[in-house]
């Protein structure tokens, strides 16, 4: 019964960086307490082809993110899905294209591309988890790095919605 729980999920508390995951090689996820984030690229410790899917580069995918609250409902360890950034207190499903996450001197900008749960997500978690996040839109979000710097676990996350003129 994951879907009803995800549909009523609450994101409470101060928005923070719950975990940072580097991907030094395909399928290898290493939880770290600090990471350098490179403008226009993503986490410095990630392998060069991390943004590739079925042999092609996927634009707008420098950093992948998922909420701690979602992973807790799924009963999945935070490093299992392979997302770079695990947030706490941030409803990533509400972010729109152009919204920003600011963490110290690092700014990530939400891209238009949806973060869909694929077969690999199902193999790492479960088919039930894949179906639940697909049905509820809680898989997470994809970001480009607008400004780089360093991130540390526990760091505050400020959400800055895109402001459009009337």
Q: How far apart are CA 121 and CA 5, in angstroms?
A: 19
pLDDT exceeding 70 applies to what percent of the chain? 93
Residue 77 to residue 74: CA distance in whole angstroms: 9
Name beta bridge partners: 66.
86
Whole-angstrom distance, CA of residue 105 vs CA of residue 103? 6
Query: What is the C-alpha R_g of the chain?
Result: 15
| Model confidence at 125: pLDDT above 60 | yes
Pair of tokens at residue 21? 């995951």
Tokens of 12: 């409470």
Reading the block at residue 137, the tokens are 């839109």
**Spatial contact of 104 and 37, defined as CB atoms under 8 Å apart:** no
pLDDT of 91 above 70: yes
* Paired sense of beta strands 63-67 and 85-88, if any: parallel
Q: What is the pLDDT of residues 95-106, one digit of tens each?
A: 999 999 999 999
Buried residues in 120-158 as b, exposed as e (16+ CB within 10 A): ebbebbeeebbebbbebebbbbbbbbeebeebeeebebe
89 pLDDT exceeds 80? yes
Q: Which tens digits make up the pLDDT trace of 19-69?
A: 999 999 888 899 999 999 999 899 998 887 677 666 777 777 899 999 999
Instruction: For residue 65, give the nearest of 151, 164, 163, 7 by alpha carbon.
Output: 151
Average pLDDT over residues 89-93: 96
Segment 121-146 shows an average pLDDT of 90
């Amino acid at each position: 019964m994951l879907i009803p729980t995800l549909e009523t999920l609450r994101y409470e508390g101060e928005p923070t960086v719950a975990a940072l995951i580097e991907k030094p090689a395909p399928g290898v996820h290493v939880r770290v307490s600090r990471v350098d984030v490179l403008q226009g690229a993503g986490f410095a410790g990630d392998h060069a082809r991390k943004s590739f899917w079925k042999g092609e580069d996927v634009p707008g995918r420098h950093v992948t993110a998922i909420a701690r609250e979602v992973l807790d409902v799924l009963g999945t360890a935070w490093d299992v899905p392979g997302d770079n950034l695990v947030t706490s207190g941030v409803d990533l499903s509400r972010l729109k294209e152009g919204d920003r996450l600011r963490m110290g001197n690092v700014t990530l900008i939400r891209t238009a591309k949806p973060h869909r749960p694929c077969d690999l997500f199902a193999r790492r978690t479960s088919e039930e988890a894949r179906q639940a996040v697909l049905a509820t839109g809680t898989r997470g979000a994809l970001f480009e790095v607008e400004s780089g710097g360093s991130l540390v676990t526990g760091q505050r996350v400020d959400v800055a919605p895109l402001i459009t003129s009337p």
